Structure 1
């Protein structure tokens, strides 16, 4: 019994040392621009951009093969921050990107069969429910990545504008009133 414990401990120690040496010897340094882009991205790894995660998208943006508008859950604000780092000449794409309100998933409970496919696909665990029971979406946790909408077999999930609450309510931007004498804004 003691011989088995000693041999397993020695084997674990030896393989751990081997892995540590290999990690130092074959370490690949990532460019600082990739780390800067990755810090701006939401970090939910939802895959809505078509890349395996936020770090994969950051690498593609640093290479110039992905546009700064690829992160749909991040929206226009993230795209504007990314445009300052990634100089791809995509300022026109960001300027043409419409300011949209944040969206979240909504489940029609009378169509939900409780198949758990949406529950398993949600990267932020925003869907709650159990097998063969009705599911629901936690609005504050949903990022609107559409991963659950794609896998729902009964089409019970739709995208809706995020409802306003005390936490996310804001004043609407004032609309300019052209031709008025008060600096261009309606009184």
Structure 2
């Protein structure tokens, strides 16, 4: 089968202007709850796009850990490639690809680093093996074999076997301060529904976009 021949119709429902709340977070939270209720695998998974100093875009999937009016929160190794990009250019793009529901949410904004107290609180809530895993990987660096990671994990697991795992100095998180949120709902005959919320001084403007 030729890839160009693969297609399907989007028939699960539309999105109308009268159905939209005044703020994007209200609709995002509703869609997130529906994605969880539908049993989607990894509903909190989001594509994070950053740009390096040469203007080269990069994308990867990370997990959303918190969202409120202040922004979208995720955690990472602060020596990672994504962290280096964001230190150079704090502008960021997020995408939630909820394909089974024929939905996407696209978010743009800029990041701020989380306070140490917030990072510590979340790190302490993680399973112990996940805490140890944060110590093991020098994220985005080149390694010669997976066995090195596994050996380091066993070494660190033994080291912290009888006590708490301390927060690594190189581990932290970002909050995405969002200024635009676009909601996409698939529609029949490729007449998809797209609405974008854009932040203004006194609130949000809502615009329908052509599919």
- Structure with the bigger RCO (C-alpha within 8 Å, sep 6+) is 2
Bin of the TM-score, shorter chain as denominator length: under 0.3
* Higher Rg: 1
Question: So what's the TM-score if we normalise by structure 2?
Answer: 0.21
More helix by share: 1
